[in-house]
Structure 1
Amino acid sequence: ENSRGEESQIVSSNKFPCGLVHQMLQDFLSSRLEAVGYSAPSCGGLVKALSEEVKALVRTVCPDRYRLVCTVALGQLGPEGQQGYGGLVLASRSLWDPHTDTCVAHTYRSQEMFCTANVFAVYFE
């Protein structure tokens, strides 16, 4: 039976690599989307594919005890580079353990679209 101190040492030795994952998201979205233009009919399939690709990519550096939830939002930029025509605000909220669980997000922007990828990493005991 572990005390809370021993459990914290175990968790910290397998900490989720937030900085590395953020860099991976930045590199991935830039390379994957730099030649892609906004097309409303193809957004659904693209978002689904990007979400699966992000999850597979992050899994390569994720400690085994973490479960991943990946979301991707993609939209058209309006006049003067605004997100949508009236603005769009993305927000998320979860109940979790602030000592072990975390999230990483990155937004890619081109002249005509934006794409936000979120990775939620939840420690599984």
Structure 2
Amino acid sequence: METASRASDQTFHIRPNPDDKFRSSTVRDVIHQVLVSNLSNYIYTTETADSTASNLSEAIRNKVVELSLPRYKYIVNVVMGANRGEGVKVGARCLWDADSDNFASDVFITETFFCTASVFAIYYY
């Protein structure tokens, strides 16, 4: 009888429940809302870009955590720069479980600056 109760108390899960899976489209909407609300009236300067990117990263992480997806750990990456008509590519390489881990990203562009934000979700099992 004791072993039966211990088996039900184990917290080892190899996959998230379907309802608790990280959905890229939902998180992309969250990222978009944070970027628009924080950057619509923002005037880009190199002096404030670092702190703004850090604040955006924290705001995005807090909003994603509010989705209450159990056992996920998040990495948020925000890149900002001046928009001078030059091309910019931002890339990432990850090693993860394609069945449970995922990512979402969005871009905010104005005539003077660009901002790209990515959220990487790693399922902790």
Interval containing the TM-score (normalised by the shorter chain):
0.7 to 0.9
Structural mapping, 1:94-113, within 5 Å: 94-113=94-113
1:66 counterpart = 2:84: no
Q: CA RMSD in A?
A: 1.7
Q: Which residue of 1 aligns with 2:118?
A: 118
The structural deviation recorded for 1:28 is 1.4
How high is the sequence identity, in percent, across the aligned residues?
25
The structural deviation recorded for 1:64 is 1.6
Could you say what secondary structure the match of 2:69 adopts?
A: coil
The structural deviation recorded for 1:7 is 5.1
Please say which of residues 31-40 and 14-23 is displaced more in the overlay: 14-23
Pairs aligned (count): 114
The structural deviation recorded for 1:11 is 3.5
2:34 touches 2:59 (CA, 8 Å); kept in 1? no
Look up the equivalent residue of 1:31 and give its one-letter code: S
1:101 touches 1:123 (CA, 8 Å); kept in 2? yes
The structural deviation recorded for 1:13 is 3.4
C-alpha distance in structure 1 between counterparts of 2:57 and 2:32, whole Å? 14
Q: Which residue of 2 aligns with 1:50?
A: 56
Q: Tell me the TM-score normalized by structure 1.
A: 0.84
Q: Deviations over 1:45-103 (max 9, x none)?
A: 1111111111001111141210000010001100xxx3xx4x22100010000000000
Q: Tell me the TM-score normalized by structure 2.
A: 0.84
**Which ranges in structure 1 are unaligned for 5 or more consecutive residues?**
none
Greater Rg over alpha carbons, structure? 2
C-alpha distance in structure 1 between counterparts of 2:32 and 2:58, whole Å? 16
**Which ranges in structure 2 are unaligned for 5 or more consecutive residues?**
1-6, 8-12
